[in-house]
Structure 1
Amino acid sequence: MKVASPLGLFYRSRSTASDDSRYYYHKIYRYKNEKEERRYKEAINELRNSERNTIRIDFAELFSYSSTLASAVELQFYRYRISYFICLKSAALDVCNDEAEKQRLLRKEIHVSFNNLGHKLRFVLLFHF
């Protein structure tokens, strides 16, 4: 899937943006490191713990994996952020077997943190918040 220019994405429907974010989430979830292990699978599993509510993603690693995905995060983060959170929550629910734990996860806020950002990008995100 190719990401269009920011203006092109501005005019797309909300459902398309949601579909795009699910696609991007699955790319993050399936990302494998050099040992062929899923890099963020364990982090998603840890979201079930009551003290964990943030998944940390290395932006430089993300960019080396998929520049299209990194560009979507960089240019359209605020557009997709709610969908990212919903997708991460549904992934955490998928690995959960206990019904009481699922109910607790439904009420829990889940966040995404991108580490290892460039200085320019950090500056842009700071002033858009």
Structure 2
Amino acid sequence: MSGYEYTVSRVVDAPVEQVWRMWTEAEHYAGVFQTTPGAAEIDVRPGGAWKITMSGGTPMTGAYVEVIPNKRLVTTMDGAGPHPSPMAMDLADEGGRTRITFSQTCTTREEHAQSKEGSEILLQWCADYATKM
């Protein structure tokens, strides 16, 4: 193994197409991240950029690496070290509900701990937001 891997997943009470919209439409992306409308700028295509300004005013930015509609998004986040580790989000239909799985191989233990914790929080935020759409 070359790195520190993690995989976390959760089933949310929403169809795959709705979950995909949560991650690919700026209005809903901002909702997932529990910030204000207009706080997200996304260009969902390989090489496209994403930016979200968190409620405290802190911006997070990155890029899309892989986009397979209703199936998979792979992104990177700027500022996560000199060589950011891509994070994958995979979606799977579970009878009208959606299993969201985040996976990543990090280069350091610190990045692993922070990324895994952040992914677990995002899964909770996704589940919460899915009930509001």
Shorter-chain TM-score tier: under 0.3
TM-score by length of 1: 0.26
Higher strand share: 2
Larger radius of gyration: 1
Of Structure 1 and Structure 2, the greater helix share is in: 1
Give the TM-score normalised by structure 2. Answer: 0.25
